[in-house]
């Protein structure tokens, strides 16, 4: 799929599916705005893309905070001009039984995995609505994610993200903006490319 000159903002781009998607998008000619809370991994991703002749910039912000989201979206707009596609991949997954879980871990998991997605959908959705087009892809857990593990907070947040995605699509699709919940599986790159191909 040719994504030449499309500006794609990816949260949690430093590792996992976010990293894989950043590299795949760059290979297809996209301009990648790679976000992460930690500079180490995401700057490595950006360096790899630019060394290979691609285009990418790193944006270090905490997307669980409204101020961080505002800085991120404004920075991408100012430097790259727009956001054509948003991929929300940022996530945390603490491992603790619900009866033993620290309240801070519970709140942080919901803040990153769900509230951050809401804030990004809200900020980027307004930009896309004004432009009359755009695609938002929220990476949710695979069917077996968390099975056999102490991941109650993670699973609760990701279930909420799936429903948030459906509601956001209902509200934004009349304005030319589509919102999808994408399973985080071994085929996530292939699935994302298929969705983007159909949504052209």
Q: How far apart are CA 31 and CA 41, in angstroms?
A: 18
Beta strands 7-11; 31-36: pairing state = parallel
Chain centroid to Cα 85, Å, comes to 10
Beta strands 55-60; 31-36: pairing state = parallel
Told to judge if 180 belongs to the known catalytic residues of this protein, a careful annotator would answer: no
* Other residues' Cβ atoms within 10 Å of the Cβ of residue 158: 25
Q: Which of 59, 88, 154, 180 is catalytic?
A: 154
Q: How far apart are CA 85 and CA 8, in angstroms?
A: 5
Q: How far apart are CA 80 and CA 72, in angstroms?
A: 12
Q: How far apart are CA 118 and CA 163, in angstroms?
A: 11
Q: How far apart are CA 92 and CA 73, in angstroms?
A: 21
Cα→Cα distances 61→57, 148, 155, Å: 13, 32, 24
Residues recognised as catalytic: 154
């Amino acid at each position: 799929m040719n994504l030449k000159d499309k500006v794609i903002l990816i949260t949690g781009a430093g590792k996992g599916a976010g990293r894989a998607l950043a590299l795949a998008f760059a290979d297809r000619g996209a301009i990648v705005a790679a976000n992460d809370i930690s500079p180490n991994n995401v700057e490595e991703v950006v360096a790899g893309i630019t060394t290979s002749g691609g285009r990418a910039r790193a944006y270090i912000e905490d997307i669980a905070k409204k101020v961080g989201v505002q800085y991120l979206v404004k920075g991408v707009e100012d430097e790259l001009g727009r956001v054509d596609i948003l991929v929300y991949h940022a996530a945390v997954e603490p491992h603790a039984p619900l009866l033993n879980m620290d309240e801070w871990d519970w709140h942080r998991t919901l803040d990153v995995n769900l509230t951050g997605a809401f804030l990004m959908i809200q900020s980027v959705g307004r930009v896309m609505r004004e432009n009359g087009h755009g695609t938002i892809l929220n990476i949710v857990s695979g069917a077996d994610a968390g099975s056999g593990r102490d991941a109650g907070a993670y699973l609760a947040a990701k279930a909420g993200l799936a429903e948030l995605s459906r509601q956001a699509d209902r509200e934004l699709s009349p304005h030319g903006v589509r919102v999808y919940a994408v399973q985080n599986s071994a085929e996530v790159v292939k699935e994302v490319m298929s969705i983007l191909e159909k949504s052209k």
